[in-house]
Amino acid sequence: MTLLSPPRSTRAPAASAGVLQDRPLRHPDVSSQAVMTRRAWWLVLIGFLIPGSAQVLAGNRRLGRVGLGATLAFWVLAVVGVLTAVLWRSMLITVLTSWFVLLLIQVLCVVYAVLWAVLAIDTLRLTRLVRARPRARVGIAALSVALLALSSGGALAAAQYAGSAREAIASVFGAGPSVPPSDGYYNFLLLGADSAKGRDHMLFDSISVVSVNADSGAVTITGIPRDMRNVPFSDGPMRDRYPDGHTGHADPVCGWDNKINQLSTEVGLCLDGEAMYPEAAEIGSTPAIEATRDAAEGVLGIEIQYFVFVDMDGFAALIDALGGVEITVDERLPTGALHENEDGSLSGITGWIEAGTQHMDGDTAQWYARSRYTTSDWDRMRRQRELQQAILAQFTPMNVVTRFQDIASAGSQIVDTDLPETMISYLADLALKAKEQKVTTIELTLENDIDPDEPDFAAIHELVDGALHPAETPAPTP
């Protein structure tokens, strides 16, 4: 029996040879440069497409299983995200604007970046470059580095995007409760002023109200002249003080008169604004903003749920972050530290904005909106509305994604609002609907038979109500 059985040493090599032939990636023929070169290319590519697979096939299987599990989880999350974006868009926006979810995404992206870097470096080790053809070694190494930068670099970029979004949301939006629409609309008081003047009692350069239909997303922008006089107030401390409106009130000592944009000076310098509006600080507002909100509600006859303050001093940064805006200029406008002389001439001109369609950077767009020389103040209001619409047009999904870092940074520095985080997803969904419709603008100026010095507020209420709630056209009689 012993003689019929072959020696153990003669059986083992035959079995090992079979195993080696069945597993060329794990046990390659290291003496063949052609085999090792093909094996190296294969490991690098499959390790990038399915992180962890190279380790399962040719290296540490435990590390490979960790990589494969993480890769599977990543693709499951990606598929769920795509399906949610298609089927439940508002739900996706709600999730992605949550502070906790953004923090979790940021941490997961960093973990994936580190894991993919470890797997890529280990894969390069498994290739045994010294056994590959000399000419292929540089290409294999370069491809490994490029794919590592693409995978880990992309994950780190996503982590940075999530962090920027989380910081921007926390710095811009408030924590107050959401409120229902008023007569089918969400109304936003949009104020623009230079922060260098001091936010407690500066003069607002731009005052407008943006009304968004709560169902369709249709947008109506009503421009209120900053020099409008005799304004009434909605219920509140200013109406208690001036029940008949701001008619005839002026105080040359404090430096204000009864124009709407000078309410901030009155409340900030001449009156105890903090006592009049004690809740302002809690919602991230100021007495000046609240007094102007009461006036805007009285002028238009609508409820204004939220305000958005834009710091005009840094306004150019947001436009530059969006890549500029395209505007058609009707007439030539001067730029610079302008001053009108006694003879009517201008000094301090440093340049001109020429007539015609132009792609403006932030500085040029700012001059276009704020210049009040050579044209009337009503033309200035019209240009501000044009700029607002041009900025809205630039908020395309592709533009926001590619320039997200700059947009988030600029927005968090120049925008203040009492909008709560809980409203972001709903308003984002309305914004997508709004982009599909034409924006309606109303200017409370002489072109609409409204004299800002002696306005007919009943007529203004009727004008605004007609724009927000147009009469239905009766169906033709058969």
Quick one: DSSP state of residue 6? P
Structural domains in the chain plus CATH codes: 26-172 (no CATH), 185-322+395-468 (3.40.630.190)
Residue pair 383/372 in contact (Cβ under 8 Å)? The answer is no
Q: What is the pLDDT of residue 12?
A: 42
Q: Report the amino acid identity of residue 356.
A: G
Q: What is the pLDDT of residue 22?
A: 52
Residue pair 382/337 in contact (Cβ under 8 Å)? The answer is no
Structure tokens at 360: 């403006």
User: Residue 283 contacts by C-beta under 8 Å, 6 or more apart in sequence?
Assistant: 174, 176, 418
Element (H, E) at 329: strand 325-329
**Other CB atoms within 10 A of residue 444 CB:** 25
Q: 428: closest CA among 183, 191, 92?
A: 92
pTM: 0.69
Grouped pLDDT means (10 residues each) for the chain, 478 residues: 43 43 72 89 92 90 92 91 82 77 90 93 91 90 92 89 80 74 91 60 81 89 89 92 82 75 83 88 87 94 91 78 85 74 71 85 83 71 80 70 67 78 78 78 85 90 91 63
Determine phi and psi for 229, rounding to 5 degrees. Answer: -110, 165
User: Residue 241 contacts by C-beta under 8 Å, 6 or more apart in sequence?
Assistant: none
Length of the chain: 478
Intra-chain end-to-end CA distance of the chain, in Å: 110
Residue pair 276/263 in contact (Cβ under 8 Å)? The answer is no
Q: What is the pLDDT of residue 266?
A: 85
DSSP helix, strand, coil percent of the chain (3-state; round to 5): 55, 15, 30
Q: What is the pLDDT of residue 201?
A: 55
Three-class DSSP category at 275: helix
- How far apart are alpha carbons 54 and 68 in whole angstroms? 10
Using the structure block, give the residue that is written with the tokens 């219920």: 235
Structure tokens at 18: 């079979």
